[in-house]
Structure 1
Amino acid sequence: MNISKKKFCIIGCGRLGVCLSVFLSQGFTPACFASKSPDSAKHAAAMAGEGIVYKDAVTAATACDLVFITTPDTQIKPVCDQIAKGGGFTEDSVVFHLSGALSSDVLKTAQKTGAAIGSIHPLQAFAPYERGQKSPFSGINISLEGADQAVALGREIVVALGAHSFTIPTHAKTIYHAAAVVASNYLVTLEHFALSLLKEADLDEAVAYTILEPLIQGTLNNIKARGCVNALTGPVARGDDQIISCHLKDIDKKTPQFSQLYRVLGKHTLEIAASRGDLDSGGKERLAALFKE
């Protein structure tokens, strides 16, 4: 496999494709662009400052050994299949996609041509690129999985982006992505829950967040320093069923849409608290009954 020139091709010129083409410049060169929308491909090339826009994915991939398929998830396999069928991959090709939820297995048709396949997933949300902006890749964590040759090159790519890499098994890609959703998206849901409760205390959202922010940051710091089990505090950790009972009565009355969520979270929080071994059996049983109702 020979990719010493490290010229790369972007197939799919949305937010991520544009950011990758702009910031993967340390030792790599954006050479080829193709997208469902020709205007998007032209925009990506203009932002990168170099590279040729091709009319289709097959001809673009043919011109480079390093190919990034940065389309929406549902289009990764069809685009890969199209390029493979059209002869756009060779045994010198390295093909990556950047989906969080899909593994490199979705690129099997490229592998059958002799190409090395892999996935690169930045744990970051990407806004539309603006000239002069700071790199959204700087200092973030990026997962790698796939063929050994692809993962090895992936590490070079991550270093060039100024990020940090870690590897996961191919079979674990979906559960890894679920973890990212819980840590990011569902954290938003939890804070929305908390802010909605404070709204019932006549605090508007902006003020409520300012009040909660030090507590949120302190909790994250404690998790980092001590781990989840030892970072847990509060009435469940203390076995205070009377306080939890009061919470539930108020939530059921004022914000019943959150009653089930509070109980589900409480049930799993109780499991964490119980794992420390310092809850008396009576308190544990009373809390379990409250969360079961």
Structure 2
Amino acid sequence: MTRPARLAVGVVSAGRVGSVLGAALARAGHTIAAASGISAASHDRAERLLPHVPLKPPDEVVAVADLVLLAVPDDALADLVSGLAATGAWRPGQIVIHTSGAYGVDVLRPAAEAGALPLALHPVMTFTGREEDLQRMAACSVGVTAAPGDEAAWNVGEALTVEMGGEPIRVPEAARPLYHTALAHGANHLVTLVADCLELLAGAGIANAERMIGPLLSAALDNALRHGDRALTGPVARGDSGTVRKHLAVLAEEAPEVRPCYTALARRTVARATAAGLLKSDAAAEITELLDEGPQK
């Protein structure tokens, strides 16, 4: 399938992701023919990032588009695609893209059965829905999935990714669940971990805790990306059971809701530090026994 030099694009919907990717496609020379958006926030984003683009219901957006960008929540995607198929909205020759990391192209089967070209393009970044996201796309990887064996479709997905400023990375359909799990485990749980850390520091009376831990966490992330498990440090990786015991005791008293997370991550740290040769087996056994004891009464 040959992609036209200029496409009429329909954006469903103009949320934080859809509005930015629509603007990126417009910047690449495509025409945003229509978008959908219900909330006031979506209307505001459309006015800023997709100026003069008419807002229409999803079926009317699809009707005027050569390329349909489905930027809806994961749980809404399958019903949206099948619902549009039931109305006869899809047509041969359309390119249909969704931005969900959790799905490949199988979720677009109803559109593909109508003759559309299905693609999954998942930008590996967080979106604010503001103009700065367009600049951030330049450093963004995009997980691209097309139908197995359809090299032309893979090429279309990669070309569109490059046009939007991203770096295409091929993710096979079967690998999509594990791929998305890995990204969510890292990015989403990192936010939870940092938020817990800030609350603990606030409980210790530390003002401006963000300024304190920013350099520490940035260095830890950089070291982990550069050196993997060799970057592990701290009392668990050192086998310092006395310090770990103090951590567990103060968490049991001051923040019992955080203690299970600390314990679970400490166990994974023991396993990784042991496998990397940083922690001797006797020290690993001592730390593990301590973690298994439960809160001290």
1:61 partner amino acid: V
Task: Please list every run of 5 or more consecutive structure 1 residues that lacks an aligned counterpart in the other structure.
Answer: none
Distance 1:47 1:59 in 2: 20
- Per the alignment, residue 115 of structure 1 pairs with 116
Deviation at 1:273, TM superposition (A): 0.7
Distance 2:178 2:225 in 1: 21
Shift in alpha-carbon separation, 1:43–1:282, aligned structure 2, 3 A: closer
- Per the alignment, residue 44 of structure 1 pairs with 46
Deviation at 1:34, TM superposition (A): 4.0
Contact 2:95 2:117 in 1 (8 A): yes
**Which string of whole-angstrom CA distances, capped at 9 and with x for unpartnered residues, describes residues 87-106 of structure 1?**
33333122111112232211
Contact 1:140 1:164 in 2 (8 A): yes
Shift in alpha-carbon separation, 1:59–1:250, aligned structure 2, 3 A: closer
**TM-score with structure 1 setting the length:** 0.87
2:126 partner amino acid: A
Contact 1:143 1:168 in 2 (8 A): yes
1:264-275, aligned counterparts within 5 Å? 264-275=264-275
Deviation at 1:47, TM superposition (A): 4.0
Shift in alpha-carbon separation, 1:159–1:239, aligned structure 2, 3 A: same
Shift in alpha-carbon separation, 1:261–1:108, aligned structure 2, 3 A: same
| 1:191 aligns with one of 190, 194, 204 | 194
**Which string of whole-angstrom CA distances, capped at 9 and with x for unpartnered residues, describes residues 33-54 of structure 1?**
1425398579737743455x37
Distance 2:239 2:48 in 1: 61
Shift in alpha-carbon separation, 1:163–1:247, aligned structure 2, 3 A: same
Distance 1:242 1:151 in 2: 54
Deviation at 1:11, TM superposition (A): 2.3
- Per the alignment, residue 234 of structure 1 pairs with 234
- Per the alignment, residue 201 of structure 1 pairs with 204
1:48 partner amino acid: L
RMSD of the TM alignment (CA)?
2.6
Deviation at 1:59, TM superposition (A): 4.0
Shift in alpha-carbon separation, 1:169–1:49, aligned structure 2, 3 A: same
- Per the alignment, residue 225 of structure 1 pairs with 226
- Per the alignment, residue 180 of structure 2 pairs with 177
Deviation at 1:271, TM superposition (A): 0.2
Task: Please list every run of 5 or more consecutive structure 2 residues that lacks an aligned counterpart in the other structure.
Answer: none
- Per the alignment, residue 155 of structure 1 pairs with 158
Contact 2:15 2:45 in 1 (8 A): no
Distance 2:247 2:189 in 1: 21
**TM-score with structure 2 setting the length:** 0.85
Shift in alpha-carbon separation, 1:142–1:42, aligned structure 2, 3 A: same
Contact 1:9 1:67 in 2 (8 A): yes
Shift in alpha-carbon separation, 1:111–1:133, aligned structure 2, 3 A: closer
Contact 1:122 1:143 in 2 (8 A): yes
Q: How many residues align?
A: 288
2:294 paired with 1:277 = no
